[in-house]
Structure 1
Amino acid sequence: MSSKGPGTAFAAALAAAALALAACGSSDPPGGGGGSGEPRTLTLWHYESADSAMGVAWTEAIRQFEAGHPNVKVKVEEKGFEQIQKTAGMVLGSDQAPDIMEYNKGNATAGLLSKQGLLTDLTEQVTKRGWDKLLSPSLRTTARYDERGVMGSGNWYGIPNYAEYVMVYYNKDAFEKQGVKVPTTLDEFTAALDTFVKAGITPIAVGGAEYPAQQIMYQLALSKAQRPWVDAFELYKGRVDFHGPEWTYGATTFADWVKKGYIAKDSASLKAEDMGVGFISGKYPIMVSGSWWYGRVAGEVKNFTWGSFLWPGNRLHAGSSGNLWVVPEKSKNKDLAYDFIDITMKKDIQNRLGNAGGVPVAADPAAITDEKNKELIENFNKLTAEDGLAYYPDWPAPGYYDVMVAGAQELINGAKTPSQVLDEFARPYDENLADIGG
């Protein structure tokens, strides 16, 4: 995620399950550490809900970890996506740093912390444990950062054990009622949105106060983009014109969608959770968001039939590896952290993640039994095969997430013109580029 996971804190039940299983049987741990001796605690932060695919898989990973490390208890601390996003730099520089945590990938987050010396260089462990062999080249991009904190090369500072991409979730019953077919082009998508508006229905659930709105704007920009533009914007491999056709189309069309009623004018204050609940309850027939919602949608939608499709007409889509396991430099139990990462990369944990509605990076395809989950994974494999992952709009520069959120809110509220918002996007981007010597 974009950016995101859904922005929900994982349930306290996950921590309770971890502690309750601390006395499980013993065996030699995968990494050879923590098998005997004095009691130890591995402090773990992540922000996935307990019923998400990652939450389900990691609960099992905790069980296996504690079974193989009988003297170790895993202490899961409840955090939220926004909380970690805003305070990670300060916390990781203190003695309150966890031993391992899930953290957002990209230049503005993991890249910045690596440049500041707050993350452990995992390169030796990657080679030793073969994690690199489990990740495709496109997934490795977000795990490695150079001395400038720019992703794509340099040392390994994180390990993703799942992948993600932005798609369109839709209410099949609502589509059928309005005579709308699954669109295959952006023009067909726009026509479908018009049909819902004419029926008095706001079609798209949006959370303007967090990541969802900016991802819609980015999908629109990507409809006019090619790979060199993405590499220039995300990897600094060229100059970016924020008033060029890509961002101009994205911002202008997004603002136009608000005016046309595709997006509610009061959505600027709504969070990702509000968006998800709005779709799951049937209030909105469409939700544009990431695969991190898949397991929850599958588990909670009760009153209608739903499905998903890739953003119509795009060759490029917001998406990447999932968030990273990072080990803070101040971690007191790095050996245990490495062992836990190792377990989450095991095939049975990867299979569990896939069957729970996630996108695993090292699963056995034959072990994924649910047809919807197979479709989710097949669509992701299609994107990676076509080099279609375009990362996320808030990644390039430190603090860019807040800039993107504010810009999307201003477009929803009509507080600023698309051109003014694009000026706001350009300023911190250009400042960061100058700061790193670009």
Structure 2
Amino acid sequence: MTRPRLRLAAGALLLFASLGLTACSDSGSGDEGADAKTLTLWHYEGPTSAMGVAWNKAIELFKAAHPGVEVKFEQKGFEQIQQNAGMILNSDSAPDILEYNKGNATAGLLSKQGLLTDLTEQVTKHGWDKQLSPSLQTTARYDAQGIMGSGNWYGVPNYGEYVMVYYNKDLFKKHNLAVPTTFDQFTAAMDTFVKAGVTPLSVGGAEYPAQQIFYELALSKANRAFVDSYQLYKGKVDFHGPELTYGAQTFADWVSKGYIAKNSAGIKAEDMGVAFEQGKFPILISGSWWYGRFAEEIKNFDWGTFLFPGNTLHPGSSGNLWVVPAKSKAKSLAYDFIDITMKPEVQNLLGNNGGVPVAADPAQITDPKNKELIAGFDTVSKADGLAFYPDWPAPGYYDVLVGGVQGLINGSKAPQQMLDEIAKPYNDNLADLGK
């Protein structure tokens, strides 16, 4: 998933550019770093988010289990790590463990470059493979070309995520609208809001949210074979075929119908979420990572969620990965930390704070809303409905899709032009892989 949270610190690019770079790789075997007295850990979860709360608890438990070991935790911006991971992990300033985005273009690329530790031996030793379903393992394993789904383990996910529809129950009630169960009912509800002078969707076109709406629309016409072709390169993708054509054309139609505001091309994800929290929009289509925050911060109206109506496939996957850089100086401690995040105490805390745990005790999840969130993920996962994210297939594809969908929002690109634009880098990547 791609979801910026914190802004890039001033001067960070200059700092990373000045680092000395030396490539290296590691098998991850043995107890390297067992005697280390410091564990440097990076992640980009907000402190009040479900993951932030859970990881802080994991740090507390780690310290208790490792007296005398200092944990140097640094909160980083998603985009900061996304844009500079290669330089960071190829330098002597690499952390010992960090949260990193999953997929071919991110963790897969770094594994191919030899910048991540092969965790296969540790996964078997600690039994993490027994705690993760096959669909959740997809994003943790990469082959020699950096393609997910098979090969060695280069990361461990300990939560799940999926895209859903958040809605303002009070505004739905005000306009006499029921929760839609079909696509036609969904668009009819949005028509009702438009006629009342209300823009239905809070959208962040400057970052990941808009491209995920485009992908949801494409998935409404897709099957598993399409997803496997697009994400895993198991078949040829026709960018002017029914799935992506429908996604681009319908997205453009939603703009013309007033479902999506034209000024949303410049809106960041954070501003999109805040606008929904403030009750300015009745609907937001985005991921489960917002759930805990909305539960904590929305005080002035009742809200709920439902799966994108009519779809059996949805953007979603395991959560981001804990990865251990090849240059980690405390690998043994890093493995211990990962293991703690998989313990019931941390997993249950994650679930009770609005996250989607992978190894919690269901009986220990007490909040009705949290149960609803986890049930939604179970529904999608058990139906083999996790379709990953649209920006995963190629390095740099996130920015390609942001630009493409922005063109649909501001009207600078027709749907066919947008599809041509996003097809080229995808196919160039296939050529580089010899596909």
Matches within 5 A, 1:322-401: 322-401=319-398
Pairs aligned (count): 414
Residue 402 (structure 2) pairs with residue 402 (structure 1)? no
**Counterpart pick for 2:142 among 123, 128, 145:** 145
**Matched residue SS, 1:311:** coil
Alignment partner, residue 304 of structure 1:
301
What amino acid does structure 1 have at the position aligned with 2:394? A
CA-to-partner distance for each residue in 1:66-92, whole Å, 9 max, x for gaps?
Answer: 111111121111211111111111111
Give the secondary structure class of the aligned counterpart of 2:40: strand
SS at match of 1:101: strand
Distance in 2, matches of 1:161 and 1:34, equals 23
- Equivalents in 1 of 2:255, 2:394: separation in Å? 27
1:9/1:49 contact within 8 Å kept: no
Match of 1:360, SS? coil
The 3 A distance-change label for structure 1 pair 116 and 34 is: closer
Please give the secondary structure, in 2, of the residue aligned with 1:325.
Answer: strand
Show structure 1 runs of 5+ residues with no match: 11-30
Displacement, 1:8? 3.5
How many Å separate the matches in 2 of 1:401 and 1:181?
A: 35
Distance (Å, rounded) in 1 between the aligned partners of 2:247 and 2:72:
43
User: Are the structure 2 counterparts of residues 297 and 142 from structure 1 closer, same or farther at C-alpha, using a change threshold of 3 Å?
Assistant: same
Distance in 1 separating the partners of 2:31 and 2:55: 20
Report if aligned partners of 1:44, 1:75 keep a CA contact under 8 Å in 2: yes
State whether structure 2 residue 15 is matched by structure 1 residue 7.
no
1:27-426 alignment, distance < 5 Å: 40-426=37-423
Relative to the length of structure 2, the TM-score reads 0.93
- Indicate how the Cα distance of structure 1 residues 147 and 32 shifts in structure 2: closer, same or farther if over 3 A, else same: closer
Q: Deviations over 1:262-317 (max 9, x none)?
A: 11111111111001101011111111000011000000001000000000000100
The whole-number CA distance in structure 1 between the counterparts of 2:247 and 2:48 is: 33
Q: How far off its partner does 1:9 sit?
A: 6.6
- 2:220/2:310 contact within 8 Å kept: yes
Task: Please give the alpha-carbon distance, in whole angstroms, between the structure 1 residues aligned to 2:206 and 2:85.
Answer: 20
Q: Secondary structure at the match of 2:57?
A: helix
Change (3 A) 1:33 1:332: closer
The CA RMSD measured in Å over matched residues stands at: 1.5
The residue that corresponds to 1:19 in the other structure is none
Check the 8 A contact 1:9/1:47 in 2, yes or no: no
Moved over 4 A (4+): 31-35
Secondary structure in structure 1 of the residue aligned to 2:336 = helix
Q: For residue 169 of structure 1, give the secondary structure of its aligned residue in structure 2.
A: strand
Instruction: Name the CA distance, whole Å, in 1 between partners of 2:256 and 2:72.
Output: 48
Q: Secondary structure at 1:180's aligned position in 2? A: coil
Mapped partners of 1:120, 1:348: distance in 2: 27
3-state SS in 2 of match to 1:359: coil
- For 1:227-263, what per-residue CA distance to the aligned partner results, in whole angstroms no more than 9, with x for missing partners? 1000000000100000000000101111111111111
Q: Which amino acid aligns with 1:68?
A: A
Query: Cα deviations across residues 322-361 of structure 1 (Å, max 9, x unaligned)?
Result: 0000111111111111110000000110000000000000
What secondary structure sits across from 2:70 in the alignment?
strand
Query: Retained in 2: the 8 A contact 1:144–1:156?
Result: yes
Q: Could you tell me which amino acid in structure 2 is paired with residue 133 of structure 1?
A: K
Gaps of 5+ in 2: 9-29
- State how far apart, in whole Å, the 1-side matches of 2:71 and 2:288 are: 27
1:33 positional shift = 9.5
Letter in 1 for 2:5: G
Q: Is the 8 A contact 1:34 1:69 kept in 2?
A: no
Could you tell me the TM-score, scaled by structure 1's length? 0.92
Give CA deviations for 1:119-138 in whole Å, capped at 9, x if unaligned. 10000000101000000000
Check conservation: 1:207, 1:270, Cα contact below 8 A: yes
Distance 2:283 2:399 in 1: 25
Note if contact 2:203-2:269 (Cα within 8 Å) is conserved in structure 1: yes
CA distance in structure 1 between the partners assigned to 2:68 and 2:420 by the alignment: 55
Q: Once the two structures are superposed, what CA deviation does each residue of 1:176-216 show, in whole Å capped at 9, x if it has no partner?
A: 00111111111111001111111111111111111000000
The AA in structure 2 aligned to 1:77 is E
- 1:78 and 1:361 map into 2 onto residues whose CA distance is 23
Once the two structures are superposed, residues 111-151 of structure 1 have per-residue CA deviations (whole angstroms, 9 ceiling, x without a partner) of 00000111100000001010000000000000000001100
Alignment-mate amino acid for residue 114 of structure 1: S
